[in-house]
Amino acid sequence: MALQQLTAQRLFEGWQKRFSHRSKTLQCDMQFSVYLPPQAEFHQVPALYWLSGLTCTDENFSAKSGAQRIAAELGIALIIPDTSPRGEGVPDAADGAYDLGLGAGFYVNATQAPWQQHYQMYDYITQELPKLCQANLPLTAQKSISGHSMGGHGALVIALREPELFCAVSAFAPIANPVQCDWGKKAFSAYLGEDQCNWDVYDASLLMTKLGSQLPMLVSQGEADQFMATQLFPEQLRQAAEASGTPLQLEIHPGYDHSYYFIASFIEQHLRFHAGYLLNNPLVE
């Protein structure tokens, strides 16, 4: 599968790049962003996959988080996919709503019309994109995953279902119990149908309760987040971790909201958390 480089900017002695490719999984052209630290010019480096939230593209995190400075120091690549399929023929919400359709793929494999042809974001993130990146970029097999809000939901769900793929997982303000919140109910009923049994495999709190995990896990939540009580439900995640013996490090930060200011404030902590496992605990292939 060929990558077309769209842009490249020098940044902290590394490179911020943007690529496009034809996705067989999503049946459309996709774009994603990559930060390659300076170490990647001399040898392969591990990668952190970052999943963004509702309305974002692959460019929000790279422009707003300030993550590249620490990634350059640590020698970690950042892989930043888009949040949904896009392009001509890709369905969107009929009313143009921000929480369904374009920019709102929820990292699931849709089973319902008209979404199922393109909205296969779970497979794209877990299979197609990593294979594409490792075939075309100077990356080792070691990778971790993180994300924000809808992307935090995606990161946790994917890590809980595919723990063998990752060294660690973290999330900022994740949608932790989507089967119980309006965002999740709307997206899941559209993408997965009305049978709620099909929703449970995309709910981090339910998965953690059922499966547990020994994967290192860090979650940061702003106490002033306007969505915490109605959409995010971090307490459900805490209870699931306690019930299953999962080593969850859940931190509640007073005064912080749901914005990229929150992410920028704590991204260094998350990157250093991931570096401890990406650089010191290589996966056995």
Write out the catalytic residue numbers.
Answer: 149, 225, 258
* Residue 120 in tokens: 């296969």
Interacting residues of 259 by C-beta distance below 8 A, sequence separation 6+: none
- Using CA atoms, how far apart are residues 155 and 31, in angstroms rounded to an integer? 19
- Using CA atoms, how far apart are residues 105 and 213, in angstroms rounded to an integer? 25
The three-state secondary structure class of 53 is: coil
Interacting residues of 176 by C-beta distance below 8 A, sequence separation 6+: 152, 153, 156, 204, 205, 219, 232, 233, 234, 236, 237
Residue of 116, 117, 112, 113 whose CA lies nearest to 192: 112
Give the H or E element holding residue 94: none
- Using CA atoms, how far apart are residues 163 and 87, in angstroms rounded to an integer? 32
Cα angle value 75/41/13 (rounded, 5°): 65
217-222 and 169-172: which strand pairing? parallel
